[in-house]
Amino acid sequence: MCGIFGYIGYQHSLPLLVEGLRRLEYRGYDSTGVGLYDGNTITIHKTVGKVNDLKQVLPEQANATMGIAHTRWATHGGVTQENTHPHASADGKVLLVHNGIIENYRPLRAKLIAKGIELQSETDSEVLAHMISLEMEKGSSPQESVRKMLKRVRGTWGLCVMFLGHDMLICARNGSPLIIGQGDGEMFVSSDPHPLTSHTQRVVYLEDGDMATITRTKIKVSSRQGRSIQTNVQTLEDSWAESELGDAPHYMYKEIYEQPDALRHCITGRVDREMGTGRLGGMRLAHSTLVQAPHVRLLGCGTAAHAAEIGQMLIEKMARIPAVTHIASEYRNNDPVINPKAIYLAVSQSGETADTISAIKEIKLKGGQVFGVVNVVGSTIARLCAQGVYIHSGPEQSVASTKAFTNMVGALTIFAMQLGRSRNLSKDKGRGLIQQLQQAPHLMESYFEDIGPIDEAVDLLCDAKSVLYLGRGLSAPVAKEGALKLMELAYIPCLAYPAGEMKHGPMALLEDGSPVVVIAPSDHLKEKTLSAIHECKARGAKIILIHEKGDAIAEEGDISIPVPKIHPWLTPLLTVLPLQLMAYRTAVRLGKDVDRPRNLAKSVTVE
């Protein structure tokens, strides 16, 4: 993991590769490199660090019109220059970049060493280059050599291979996304659509098991067995335009403040105010399905799982049927029992989350129908599900998600409303909820005009050994999201718990001055949350309290941060905002890289 970009054409490839890598930076990475081929010589340039660090070791000019590039997020082997992609065969005639994990690389590596091959890295990826090279030494063509190698490996791969003496690139996909962009006399390869949009709108999505031979003018797709597959050229549905930083100090800052407009994009045209219901046309749910579904299962990882937990509670509140959120990595490994009549929702910003994709395949294999809730148009989950809803938050350049969380919650709210109106939710309640949902972006903007004593909270958080986050009901997953953000950005250990569970263990962490962040909107659980606040204060904790404006509970906080009042079911859309700002400002104060946190990736395409 993490990002691949390739080019073959008539232009000088180096600046195109560097720009492609820059557009892949948002995925997160720890090292980067390029391989160039000018028709005579293959050259490799790589470094630990960012794309700007790579620029320092690149030649000022290169005549190569073919090349491959990679941003690496370490899976096998440490963060070193030797482990950075591209990787070459011993004779230097095969060069490749790889996303994914080769599960049986150890015995394959041992066989190579037994043949006298000296491997230069600790990675599983380098093994593939040597295996291809050995097949070519036996007289096999590049295509047949790659095919024979793929038959011997187990795992996942998005692979792009370049060969000395051959005017082509070969790509292969199994569980890790690859997209080919078709230009006029040139071709591009990328891990996701974002780097392609400035070059072409014509793309070919490789599917699992596909292998593609790419020249300047042709794309030939085949199976691993060599069977020809018809090339399906599609038009990118979304411009996925480059997000400019402008005057903002960081992308995360910019994206936090873009959330009101992002939510407007998510809900516009998707609610019927007259009938008090949601209208998610992409889900194509028959009325009989809505009425007869015995339960709803939601799947996600990280921030998506937190949004799914909120969606789960809203479904139960509005539709009065059971709903359960599952961590996707656990769900697919537990041999789940699938009810074909149930509704399954797969939630993912990137649409490429490997664990969620595996869970979807497991559900479909057992007869279930899965609907995607994703941001990236044309992503693997969007294509795999074929039905679902795009959350329309626009591109997120910062690794830590903000506006995607908000829009996931927005989309799931509309789904819950649509399901609820087909069952028990009255028209009047639906209308009232829609009115409040449409008002939410304005209330978010109102909060941003007066964010409250965030900096006082930052003073407390910067000196903390650890931070406890508490919430009840809909605020419990909001607490999880707030804790995740502070951990991701500021590297401070955090624990998020339902407030009622605090006395069953987490209280042992409290000592004089310990910061405890409590989310306490004016709902039916406020009084119980107040009891948890008193228990924390009795043990010397300092309370950072997120509450609704004008609520007397503000007096209970050592630092009280008010947000505008909204319908109790929609409070996560507002209470998450100060948590995001607290995490962002704490990280900035501590000198952390808020847009590219260490060790993290935006699109987690390995299991």
pLDDT tens sequence across 477-498: 999 999 999 999 999 999 999 9
291, 278 Cβ separation under 8 angstroms: no
Residue 6: strand pairing partners: 68, 189
Record the tokens describing residue 488, joined without a space.
Answer: 């991701």
Q: How many helices (H) and strands (E) does the chain have?
A: 18, 27
Quote the CA–CA distance of 68 and 160 in Å, as a whole number.
7
493, 456 Cβ separation under 8 angstroms: no
Does the pLDDT value for residue 109 go beyond 90?
yes
Quote the CA–CA distance of 504 and 498 in Å, as a whole number.
10
Average pLDDT value over all residues in the chain: 93
pTM reported for the whole predicted model: 0.85
Residue 392: phi and psi, rounded to 5, are 55, 45
Nearest Cα neighbor of 72 from 34, 120, 17, 19 is: 34
Q: Mean pLDDT over residues 4-33, rounded?
A: 91
**What torsion, rounded to 10 degrees, do the Cα atoms 434, 438, 443, 446 define?**
-160
Quote the CA–CA distance of 557 and 515 in Å, as a whole number.
11
Asked if the domains 262-449 and 451-607 are classified in one and the same CATH topology, the answer is yes
Q: Are strands 31-37 and 66-72 parallel, antiparallel or unpaired?
A: antiparallel
Higher confidence at residue 600 or residue 185? Answer: 185
Does the pLDDT value for residue 46 go beyond 90?
yes
Q: Mean pLDDT over residues 342-346, rounded?
A: 97
Q: Mean pLDDT over residues 560-576, rounded?
A: 98
Q: Write out the DSSP string of 145-205.
A: HHHHHHHH--B-EEEEEEETT-S-EEEEEEBS--EEEE-SS-EEEESSSGGGTTT-SEEEE
Q: Mean pLDDT over residues 3-18, rounded?
A: 95
Strands of the sheet containing 87-88, edge to edge, are 87-88, 94-99, 157-163, 169-174, 210-214, 219-223, 228-229
CATH of the structural domain 451-607, one choice from 3.40.50.300, 2.40.50.140, 3.40.50.10490, 3.40.720.10: 3.40.50.10490
- What is the pLDDT confidence band of residue 319, given thresholds at 50, 70 and 90? very high
Quote the CA–CA distance of 339 and 543 in Å, as a whole number.
44
The residues assigned a catalytic role are: 2, 602
Tell the burial category of 334 from Cβ atoms under 10 Å away from its Cβ (0-12, 13-18, 19+): exposed
Question: What are the structural domain ranges in the chain?
Answer: 2-235, 262-449, 451-607
Record the tokens describing residue 179, joined without a space.
Answer: 């997209």
Nearest Cα neighbor of 328 from 369, 358, 364 is: 358
- What is the pLDDT confidence band of residue 72, given thresholds at 50, 70 and 90? confident
Record the tokens describing residue 560, joined without a space.
Answer: 């009280």
Q: Write out the DSSP string of 502-527.
A: GGGTGGGG--TT-EEEEEE-SSTTHH
Q: Between the CA of residue 412 and those of 60, 128, 316, 355, 571, what are the distances in Å?
A: 50, 42, 12, 20, 14
The pLDDT tens digits of the residues spanning 523-556 come to: 888 888 999 999 999 999 999 999 999 999 999 9
pLDDT value for 243: 66
Quote the CA–CA distance of 542 and 529 in Å, as a whole number.
15
Q: Mean pLDDT over residues 234-241, rounded?
A: 68
Record the tokens describing residue 347, joined without a space.
Answer: 């939630």
Q: DSSP 3-state assignment of 82?
A: coil
CA angle 319, 325, 331 (to 5 degrees): 140
For the domain spanning 2-235, the CATH number is 3.60.20.10
CATH of the structural domain 262-449, one choice from 3.40.50.10490, 3.30.70.940, 3.50.40.10, 3.60.15.10: 3.40.50.10490
Cis peptide, bond prior to residue 86, ω within 30 of zero? yes
Record the tokens describing residue 600, joined without a space.
Answer: 């993290």
Nearest Cα neighbor of 243 from 195, 179, 306, 185 is: 195
Other beta carbons within 10 angstroms of residue 227's beta carbon come to 8
pLDDT value for 551: 94
